[in-house]
Amino acid sequence: MSQYKIIFTGPVGAGKTTAIGSLSDVPLMKTDEAASDMTKERKAETTVAMDYGIMNINEGEKIHLYGTPGQERFDFMWDILTVGGIGLVLLLDNSRADPFKDLQFFLKSFAGFIQETGVAIGVTQMDVSTRPTIDDYHRQLKELDMSIPVFSVDAREKKDVSILVQALMFSLDPGIDEE
C-alpha cells in the first residue's frame, strides 16, 4: 500500500498542530516540549520534532499528516519530513510582527518541495489582527510571480482546514473530478 503525506508548516503558534488535529482520524501524535526561549511568550509548549496525524481515505489507505516544528533551529526536520510529500500547507499567523517575513522565509525554505509539488497558504488569527489582508498577501506573492491559494483560516475549524487542503489538491490538478 502506497504511503502519501501532506506537510503542514509555518512559524510557532500558527496553528499547525491544531490544523492537523482538525483533519486527523486518530489522536494526534505530538512531540511537544516546554518552550524555553522567546517561544514561551506565545505558548507554553511547542512542537520540537513533528506532529503526526492520519486521514483514512479508503480501505486501509492513509494520508499521513505531518507538522513541522515552527522554530528554525529544528529545520533539519523539515527536509526529512517533506520526502515523499504530495503538497505543502503553509500556515501563517497574522498577529505576528511581520507575517510577510514569515511568508518569504517559509516559501524560500521549502522552494524545492513547492516546485515539485504545490502549496496552499492559510492565514490564521485574522480575527485578532485584520491586517495585512488576504489581498496584501496576494500582492506580496505577485512580486514573487506566484499565484497560489491564500485563505483566512481558523485552524480549529475542520471546514476551513479542509477547504485549504482541497484547494491544494485542485492547484495540483484542476482536472480532478469533484462529484
* Joined grid coordinates for residue 167: 484547494
User: Residue 112, interface with another protein (CB under 8 A)?
Assistant: yes
User: Residue 58, interface with another protein (CB under 8 A)?
Assistant: yes
Site for another protein in 147-166 (CB under 8 A): 147-154, 157, 159-160, 162-166
If 0-12 CB within 10 Å is exposed, 13-18 middle and 19+ buried, where does residue 97 land? exposed
User: What's the min distance (Å) between Cβ of 159 and another protein?
Assistant: 5
User: What's the min distance (Å) between Cβ of 21 and another protein?
Assistant: 15
List 45, 85, 136, 138, residue binding another protein (CB under 8 A): 138
Phi, psi dihedral angles at 117 (to 5 degrees): -125, -110
User: What's the min distance (Å) between Cβ of 36 and another protein?
Assistant: 10
User: Residue 136, interface with another protein (CB under 8 A)?
Assistant: no
Locate cell 496584501: which residue?
136
Give all strands of the β-sheet with 119-124 in edge-to-edge order.
Answer: 51-56, 62-67, 4-9, 85-93, 119-124, 150-152
